[in-house]
Structure 1
Amino acid sequence: MTDTLLKADTAKIVNQLRALVLLTRTEEQVARIRVGQARTEAVRRELTQNADHAAERTKAITEQLRVLGGVPDVVTPAVGRLAAFLKATLEQGEPLEEALLQDLSLEHQLLDRATYVKVLAEKAELPRVKALAERLITAHSATVEWLTVVLAEEALGGPAALQPTPFQRVAGGAVRVANAPVRFAANAVNEVLDTAQQRREEAGQKLGEVAGKATSFTDAVRETLTVGRSAALRRAERIARREGNTEAADAAKAAREELGDISAAELPIKGFDSLSTQDAIKAVKQLRTAHEVNVVIRYEETHKNRTAVVNATQTRLAALAKEAVGVDS
């Protein structure tokens, strides 16, 4: 390899390593921000470790920059922190899934750049840079897989490893409002709950129009019924079934399930309340659908809230999410 080509490849590597330092600093700060959104202590520890490992990778990349004659960038750490801060601030105005998709985009960029550096290092015969690139590829591949599974958990309707901030909950609701006639559905629910006999015909008509909009119905119920929600939802479900509005009744039941306002008899595991922690964990592992797992999670969190059982249900949901996205367990 000629000196000119070698210098050209080295210059490309230096440029990519500088970019990787900046992005890795951002990755570290994002991980530290996400610690506050961790749903369980296990996830909190994992995110803290991810942030610490990102800091170690930043140090290793910086060392290689020095070896290659790249001038250490004293501004990069501050820029990385600023980028993470801006990202965290801006994403408060969007649903959690959008924030996670941006996290995933960042990890893909880190993975793609590391792969590019590996090829450059092979060509330039720089074994230490190649080894570093392989280390980065392994780390970012694992994070891409983890984020993909978290997003799949969210898509399956379950409590993902990360929970939205209060602002993101509002943002998520705003998106649903923009995409569906929630206010109309809310009015329909209110009419069902108010003087059922007097408004039987009108309520029946409106509930029929709500059929097929179960998500919209559920969000409306959550918005309008804050006091005595369980009794109100059960009454709405009972009236809807009596009037033949099966889909609307199912939507009301889905709302109760999401809120944890169901009886033990409605759970997919018979005699769940009487099971010991270990037996409950064994039963959870046999659940076949995300819906069944979600119902048990909501019920357990609302009633007994046994840490081991909640963790087992979340592990089962993660396994189903991996199946959904084709990730090996």
Structure 2
Amino acid sequence: MKTVVIGGSGHIGSFLVPRLVRAGHEVVNISRGTSTPYTDSPEWQQVRQVAADREQEDRDGTFGDRVAELGADVVVDLVCFTLDSATALVNRLRGEVGHFLHCGSIWRYGESLKLPLAEGSDSALIPTDEYGIQKRDIARMLKEESASGGLVTTSLHPGHIVGPGWHPVGPLGNFDPTVWQKISGGQTVLMPGSGAEMMHHVHADDLAQAFEKAIDRRDAAAGEDFNIVAPTALSVRGYARIAASWFGQEPHLETVGWDEFRRTSTPEHADTSWAHLSRNHCLTIEKAKSLLGYAPRYEPEQAVHESLRWLVDHGQLQVSSPA
């Protein structure tokens, strides 16, 4: 089976592409060609690389032609962020490929009303940020496309992706590296909110597993959308307690209001914390388990710990003691 992966050199593709090669797929990776995969797997030697600037080719109206001309059976789009881009590609690939898979996001859900969040439920408010709105609208378009008898599509919606090679969303719901220095050194961490807010991570390889299973089970995945997250979610307090234990520490959290938190943080980190924690996301994966056979290997804390160890070992994160 010939499979084209758009954006295969990033977080997800670094794990997905080798999986597909091992499964016997003929894989073509379309990327800008400016980065290398996070994992140095020998399977990459069997992958055809195609360099393309998607944003420019979307503006020129040529990106769909580039993908279609590769003659794929399956197309996996890992880097589509607007409804216009997704619609243009679907219109061009209709009748050309057997299965189109899109990487969405759990940010298609707004603030939680009831937990856990399930696909198609009314358990969350609508998203208010542009990223979440676009991901929601793409997922809706894909379902309508398949329901109308057009292109067979599937959308997978990951939580906060984590793995070796990049910084995870931390206990405060942002990417501030100083939180790890404070936790590892037993220092006090200022915590906005109640500490009960939830975050739902997923290891990049578990997400890659879900894509592989969706390809293998095309009939079950056709026209469907799936939450793809770890088996459990982390609360702010729980996350901080688990993380402190890696360094032989007890967590020291001081509750502050959001105004105080913003005064003691950068605007970027404060906005990111609010975006994550105000959503209070915890999702169910029962649909993916039932229809796809999705079986995540990583609990969220295991995925985060692996990521931190990689960052420390590669000199990209300073902590007070080994994790």
Fold agreement, TM-score > 0.5 = no
Q: Which has the higher contact order (CA 8 A, sep 6+)?
A: 2
TM-score norm. by structure 1 comes to: 0.26
TM-score norm. by structure 2 comes to: 0.26
More helix by share: 1
